[in-house]
Amino acid sequence: MTEGSISKKMIMFALPVFLGQLLQQLYNVVDSVVVGNFLGKEALAAVSSTGSLIFLLVGFINGLFTGAGVIVGNRFGAKDYKAVHTAVHTAIAFGVVMGLILMAVGVFASPAILRMMGTPDDVIDNSILYLRIIFLGGLGNVLYNTCCGIFQAMGDSRHPLYYLVTSSIINMILDLLFVIVFKMGIGGAALATIIAQYISATLAFTKLTRTDGPHRLTVKDIKIDPDTLKQELKIGFPTGIQNSVIAIANVIVQSNINAFGSVAMAGSGSYFKLEGFAFLPINSFCVALTTFTSQNLGAGNFERAKKGARFGITAGVCCAELIAVCLFIFARPFLSIFGQDNDVLSYGTLQIRTEALFYCLLAYSHCMASVLRGAKRSIVPMFVMLGCWCLFRITYITAAIKIFPVIRTIYWAYPITWSLSSIIFTIYYFKVKMFDPNAYENLKKTV
């Protein structure tokens, strides 16, 4: 990532990331399609109601490992290969520990949290069953994302794609087999997902033990180096907090949606599945921006890092808005993939037509945050997201829903807070000399 055409390098890196995340997104979408069409809208609502809680726990832990990717990429850019080896093995060891913790917390805390969210009685049992099985796959989820983060930090976005192709095909086959043939219900859909997750984690882990280069994994060397872990967490912890505060806000949003009943839950859940697809190109450029920025700053290529940031942000924003227009126009046909209930489709369409055209601002905020993380300034997006996407979003919903007690009031929380964060990121970008060599050297002394 430190040489050659900036646009070509970034696009060629982002494309496999996009395809891989597209397949990963299919995990939950296949669950929703199979569940919605074969088990009914109550089962679909149960699956939909778990998304915010899954992101709350998984998002925090996976956010921690963003720091590992930045440290690995930065050290690789600086050609400090011994330090790369230490960072890789520390990340894997910490990933195993956190994966086990995720499993335990998710399995035992899910019922209480779902009840706190006001999950309706007609879906609570299925929601608990689905969520508990999903969290049994926590170790596979975290380990896979840790391995992928290492590959991507080294500039390799192809191998994670290969493993996801395999596991996605397995997931789809098992979904149909467990739900339709074996009649295992919503638990079968969840079981298919975690089997696929463990397969992808095994493939990625095995490849790391056989790869050439400084990131090769040696099982006997897997241990935590305290100094390296401290550096990784100093960057990753703010990202984990950022993911969590967004998720907490979304849990509260979901709680307000739940108050409108299971049909509204199903419609909103279908929308969020589509939004997940819309976000994929954005997230692909986000991963590319973090890797590109960290490697080039590590190599001292400050002007190249600056040009790469501008290209990646522009590309991410343009892709997001193009998808937004398509969703806005074809909202109902896309939503009908998840079921044909007219009321469910109406709720989902209303949410799309409220939020979609503002995806450009969502993309801009995430891309800016990714550049800042690559520049070891992850504390900044944490505070921006905490203020805008958590505190302000919760305050807005709490106050506005009392004045305008309709579901569209809740939907508007997203465009409003995306706009606010975009304004703050723009001000920060032009006020702080992020790509100035002296400023970066001063920052390195504190990270």
Residue-range domain boundaries for the chain: 6-444
Q: How confident is the model at residue 209 (pLDDT cuts 50, 70, 90)?
A: very high
- As a dihedral over the C-alpha atoms of residue 6, residue 12, residue 14, residue 17, rounded to 10 degrees, the angle is -150
pLDDT at residue 281 in the model: 83
Comparing 355 with 262, the larger pLDDT belongs to 355
Backbone Cα Rg of the chain: 21
pLDDT at residue 338 in the model: 74
Q: CA 14, CA 366: separation in Å to the nearest integer?
A: 15
Average pLDDT over residues 68-90: 88
Q: What sign does the dihedral 275-256-185-190 (CA atoms) show?
A: positive
Look-up of token digits 């697809």: 277
389 touches 245 (CB < 8 A): yes
Distances (CA, A) of 50 to 99, 111, 128, 446: 19, 11, 9, 39
Q: CA 383, CA 370: separation in Å to the nearest integer?
A: 14
Q: CA 342, CA 344: separation in Å to the nearest integer?
A: 5
Q: CA 294, CA 289: separation in Å to the nearest integer?
A: 8
Average pLDDT over residues 85-104: 91
Q: Which amino acid is at 112?
A: A
Average pLDDT over residues 418-432: 91
pLDDT at residue 247 in the model: 72
Q: CA 233, CA 67: separation in Å to the nearest integer?
A: 6
Spatial neighbors of 80 by CB under 8 A, at least 6 apart, are none
pLDDT at residue 71 in the model: 86
323 touches 355 (CB < 8 A): no
Helix ranges, 330-387 (H): 331-335, 342-355, 359-374, 379-385
Average pLDDT over residues 372-384: 86
Look-up of token digits 């995720």: 102
Each residue's pLDDT tens digit, 264-290: 888 887 888 788 778 888 888 888 898
Comparing 205 with 232, the larger pLDDT belongs to 205
Look-up of token digits 């989820």: 141
Q: CA 123, CA 49: separation in Å to the nearest integer?
A: 9
200 touches 167 (CB < 8 A): yes
Look-up of token digits 């190249």: 304
Each residue's pLDDT tens digit, 313-335: 999 999 999 999 999 999 898 88
